[in-house]
Structure 1
């Protein structure tokens, strides 16, 4: 599991560790076996740093550096530039489209309520409802 319990930010040009924005942002997320393997391999490369992805000086990476690295990886893969928030949105959309319930997605995103998540991703749940109606129609018409 991955515990989300702090964030890195910049204040007066200095990279610092900060508390999260809301109490709901503090959460524990399960990780897939593949994700754990990648993190374990990365951890081996960092020696005894407290950071899984340390900066060249050994401290935390700046948010700007992390975004720059993401853009380099995307460019090499022939993919368009996106923000980390876009990746978060994609995760939520794919989870909902593939049957993960709204309460679970809400908790994983650290939202205050499932209602907020539902409002934010209404476009996804609307299409899921259409699919559910089609599926139920097929089931019921076959049962008659």
Structure 2
């Protein structure tokens, strides 16, 4: 992590029962994402806790955390918060929809999600929301009224 950026360069996978570093699935998955100041602060605090370990969130033995363990941790956090279980993939959809609702353009969303094309992102990760439809109706009413 440098200057508040997160670089996606590799992934942790379970191959034949062993946890290993592996290349990302696609060329577009390799990307640099800017992070908000509060996110950087949390990550720096966690890195300080991890000490000289290579990993920001190490397993008890100092290696990478098993992918299954990360999912179990997510489910525990959601349960404590009174929220339903979701998959990490569901979090991508949530990000894409919230970004849309808050004015993030499609090219930016597509790049942040590591997708090849904005069209794919539109087809897969974007949902028409009631609020967006109401806003579109109000916009078009203004256009038709000459405002």
Same fold (TM over 0.5): yes
In proportion to residue count, which structure has more helix?
1
Alignment of 1:30-69 (within 5 A): 30-69=34-73
What is the TM-score of this pair, normalised by structure 1? 0.90
Distance (whole Å) between structure 2 residues aligned to residue 117 and residue 125 of structure 1: 16
Aligned residues: 143
C-alpha change, 1:67 and 1:89, in structure 2 (3 Å) is same
Counterpart position of 2:120 = 116
Alignment of 1:70-89 (within 5 A): 70-89=74-93
**Shift of residue 78, structure 1, vs aligned partner:** 1.2
Check if 1:2 corresponds to 2:14.
Answer: no
* Counterpart selection for 1:20 from 21, 24, 27: 24
Could you list the per-position Cα deviations for residues 19-65 of structure 1 after superposition, in whole angstroms to 9, with x for gaps in the alignment?
00000000011111111111111111100111010001100000011
C-alpha change, 1:123 and 1:75, in structure 2 (3 Å) is closer
Displaced runs of 4 or more, over 6 A: none
Distance (whole Å) between structure 2 residues aligned to residue 52 and residue 122 of structure 1: 31
**Shift of residue 142, structure 1, vs aligned partner:** 6.1
> Is the 1:118–1:125 contact (alpha carbons within 8 Å) kept by the matching residues of 2?
no
> Is the 2:97–2:127 contact (alpha carbons within 8 Å) kept by the matching residues of 1?
no
* Structure 2 unmatched runs, 5+: none
* Structure 1 unmatched runs, 5+: none
